[in-house]
Amino acid sequence: MTSTPTDVRRSPAPTLVTSRERRKKKPPSLKRARTFYLFVAPWVLGFVGLTVFPLGYAFWLSLTDSDGLSPRTHFVGFDNYLEVFRDPLTLSSLGRTGLFALITVPLSILAGLLLAVMLNQPIRGRGLLRGLIYLPAVVPPVGAALTFRLIFDRDAGAANGILSGLGSNPITWLVDPNVRYVLYALVLWGCGGSMIISLAGLQDIPKELQEAALVDGASYWQSFTRITVPLLSPVILFQVITGIIGSLQSFAPLLLSSGTLSGAGTVPQGNYLYMIHVFAQYFSAARFGYASAMLWLLFGVILLVTLVILKVSARTVFYTVEPEGRR
Amino acid sequence: MNRSYRWALYVVLLAVVLVMLSPIVWLVSTSLKSPAEMASFPPTWWPAHPRLANYSEAVSKVNFVGAAQNSLAIALISTTLTTLSSAWVGFGFARLTAPGKKQLFVILLATMMLPGIVTLVPTYLIFAKLHMVNTYWPWVAWGLGGSAFLIFLFRQFFAGIPRELEEAAIIDGCGYIRIFWRIFLPQSWPVIAASVILSFTHAWGDFVGPAMFLSQDSTTLAVAMASGYVNSQGLPLNNLVAAGAVLYVLPVLLLFLFMQRRFVSGFTTSGIK
Q: Give the type of residue at A198.
A: S
Task: Judge contact between A144 and A186, C-beta under 8 A.
Answer: yes
- Searching chain A, which residue's CA lies closest to the CA of residue B89? A40
Per-position DSSP letters for B86-97, written without gaps between them: HHHHHHHHHH--
Task: Name the phi and psi angles at A64, rounded to 5.
Answer: -125, 175
- Searching chain A, which residue's CA lies closest to the CA of residue B203? A140
Q: Give the type of residue at A82.
A: L
A293 contacts in chain B (CB < 8 Å):
none
CA B162-B166-B171 angle, 5° bins: 135
Task: Judge contact between A117 and A224, C-beta under 8 A.
Answer: yes
Looking at the partner chain, which of A37, A146, A192 has a beta carbon nearest the beta carbon of B245?
A146
State the pLDDT at residue B270: 35
State the pLDDT at residue A201: 87
State the pLDDT at residue A213: 85
Task: Judge contact between B61 and A179, C-beta under 8 A.
Answer: no
Looking at the partner chain, which of B45, B223, B238 has a beta carbon nearest the beta carbon of A150?
B238
Task: Judge contact between A104 and A181, C-beta under 8 A.
Answer: no
pLDDT in tens, chain B (273 residues): 678 888 999 999 999 999 999 999 999 999 999 988 888 878 889 998 899 999 999 999 889 999 999 999 999 999 999 999 999 999 999 999 999 999 999 999 888 877 788 888 899 989 998 999 999 999 999 999 999 989 998 998 898 888 888 888 899 888 999 999 999 999 888 889 888 888 999 999 999 999 999 988 889 999 999 888 888 887 888 999 999 999 999 999 888 887 765 554 443 333 322
Q: Does B12 touch chain A (CB under 8 A)?
A: yes
- Structure ipTM: 0.88
Fold of A88-326: MetI-like fold (1.10.3720)
State the pLDDT at residue A28: 59
A269 Cβ partners below 8 Å, 6+ apart?
Answer: A176
Chain A neighbours among B 96-155 (CB < 8 Å)?
96-99, 101, 104, 107-108, 111, 113-119, 121-123, 125-126, 128, 141-142, 144-146, 148, 151
State the pLDDT at residue A282: 86
- Under DSSP, the state recorded for A168 is P
* Domain assignments of chain A as residue spans, ordered by start: 29-62, 88-326
pLDDT in tens, chain A (327 residues): 333 444 444 444 444 444 444 444 455 578 888 999 999 999 999 999 999 999 999 999 899 988 876 777 788 888 999 998 899 999 999 999 999 999 999 999 999 999 999 998 888 888 889 889 999 998 999 999 999 999 999 888 999 999 988 988 889 999 889 999 999 999 999 999 899 889 888 888 888 888 888 888 888 888 888 888 888 988 899 899 889 999 999 989 998 988 788 888 889 999 999 999 999 998 888 888 999 999 999 999 988 998 898 888 887 777 654 444 433
Nearest in space to A27 (alpha carbons), one of A35, A39, A16? A35
State the pLDDT at residue A319: 67
State the pLDDT at residue A10: 42
* Backbone Cα Rg of chain A: 27
B252 contacts in chain A (CB < 8 Å):
138-140, 143
pTM reported for the whole predicted model: 0.85
Q: Which of A147, A172, A294, A299 to mutate to test the interface with B (most CBs of B within 10 A)?
A: A147
User: Positive or negative CA dihedral for A157, A159, A165, A167?
Assistant: negative
State the pLDDT at residue B260: 66
Q: Does B161 touch chain A (CB under 8 A)?
A: no
Distance, C-alpha A261 to centroid of its chain: 22
State the pLDDT at residue A325: 42
Q: Which of A52, A55, A114, A142 to mutate to test the interface with B (most CBs of B within 10 A)?
A: A142
* Backbone Cα Rg of chain B: 24
Tell me the C-alpha distance between A213 and A210, whole Å: 5
CA A85-B122-B142 angle, 5° bins: 140
State the pLDDT at residue B1: 63
The count of CB pairs under 8 A between chains A and B is 243
